[in-house]
Amino acid sequence: MSSRLVVETREIDPVEDLLAYADPANPLAWLRRGEGIVAVDCGIVATIRVPAGTDRLRSAAIASAWRDLAQDAEVTDPLGLPGTGLVAFGALTFDEDSAADSVLIVPSLVIGRHRGRAWLTRIRRTDDRTDADTARPATAETQAYGPHWAGTVGPGDQSPQGYQDSVRRALERIATGELSKVVLARDLTGSIPAGSDLRRLVRALSTGYPDTWAFAVDGLIGASPETLVTVQERTVTARVLAGTIGRGADADADTAASAQLASSTKDLDEHQYAVQSVLASLRPHTRALAASEQPFLLKLPNLFHLATDVEGELADGGSSLDLVGALHPTAAVAGTPTPAAIAAIRELEPFDRGRYAGPVGWVDAAGNGEWAIALRCAQFTTAGEGAELAVTAYAGAGIVAGSDPESELLETRVKFRPLVDALA
């Protein structure tokens, strides 16, 4: 008989700081307004890793592998809350041709909180050699945060001047009708000290930007304002963000900036491309799909976004991972039409995005899950024990007819700020 997963969730007393339970060197976390799920530093039960060169879409391969793993799991979950029961943390690449891996990670112990209720989930395999005591949910223990640290980042493969040149080349393609929109990113690279407690970065992003999804999965850490898709009890929701302007220095400037964004033809057009992209992708999988007629202004600490919420009902036996595969990449992070935009990104960006602008989130055994687009983020890698950690951060902007290269560069600087400030 093959090994199966055995999962037990039990309610515990309220927990104030979920991150205190995470692995300092490699945290697994999904947080918003102080709630969410965190892997306790107790090990990994299973990892589904899909590398480049897979003979089918990585999202489809991930979804199929997860279905196979979850279908035979023995789950005891009396709470039935988002994030209870069997869960995996995931991060997928932006581009199917990326050299980076797409991954789902199942930790052995998960602690979570939702609307004031807290829980602990123990996950093990049936062939684990455990006695009756250790087979029951363990008691999670916190770890003191390590000392403060600071990282340094500077221009990466795409310099500020190179970025403006790429925007000009994109505008030429838009003028010929090859594209309606393309999202171009640039990178910053640097390092942080060996042994840095990465939970400090997650905590800084989570507390500084509480309305975003703060995440840490396999070295990818960030705070995304953009929900890709959420599925809970067959209700599907998504939030589309496209169109951006920096916040003003005072109340009057703030009001002027929000009014400028709300009336900008360029930004409204860019936003509409993104909304229609999401609706077209979700329709085959949903019933009663609806979106607000006009976008609203989403106010973040450093900028405004045009935003539209979408809601529907899951129509088939699919999961949140299936919807991730249907939705990604959206026009908000790739462009329109998608195939031409992806081709332009490959030619105009002198780096592999990896998991930047790809789906990041979690999924449970029933297919429920919360997935965001990995924005305002950086990938951390290490060359070995005792070595500095390399960091690559990314930020992009949507290019449409009428875009100004210098303005788009300034937009990327605004988007870099949350991560750069937290690293410092």
> Tokens at residue 200, please?
């400090």
Name the DSSP class of 283: G
Catalytic residue from among 35, 141, 181, 385: 181
Catalytic residue from among 11, 141, 226, 233: 226
Name the DSSP class of 30: E
Name 297's bridge partners.
Answer: 306
* Active-site annotation holds for 181: yes
CA distance linking residue 166 with residue 175, whole number of Å: 14
* Active-site annotation holds for 266: no
CB count, 10 Å around CB of 68?
Answer: 10
Within 13 Å and on the Cβ side, how many CA atoms surround 154? Answer: 0
Amino acid at 179: L
Give the distance from CA 125 to its chain's centroid.
28
Name 113's bridge partners.
Answer: 36, 118
CA distance linking residue 348 with residue 351, whole number of Å: 9
Q: Which of 246, 223, 158, 227 has the alpha carbon at shortest distance from 420? A: 223
Within 13 Å and on the Cβ side, how many CA atoms surround 390? Answer: 8
CA distance linking residue 63 with residue 57, whole number of Å: 10
Scanning 72-212, the segments in alpha helix (DSSP H) are: 132-135, 160-175, 199-208
Query: Contact at 8 Å (CB) between 289 and 305?
Result: no
Q: Write down how long the chain is.
A: 424
Name 307's bridge partners.
Answer: 241, 296
Query: Contact at 8 Å (CB) between 180 and 358?
Result: no
Longest dimension (CA), the chain: 69
Name the DSSP class of 58: H
CB count, 10 Å around CB of 279?
Answer: 18
Which residues have a catalytic role annotated? 181, 226
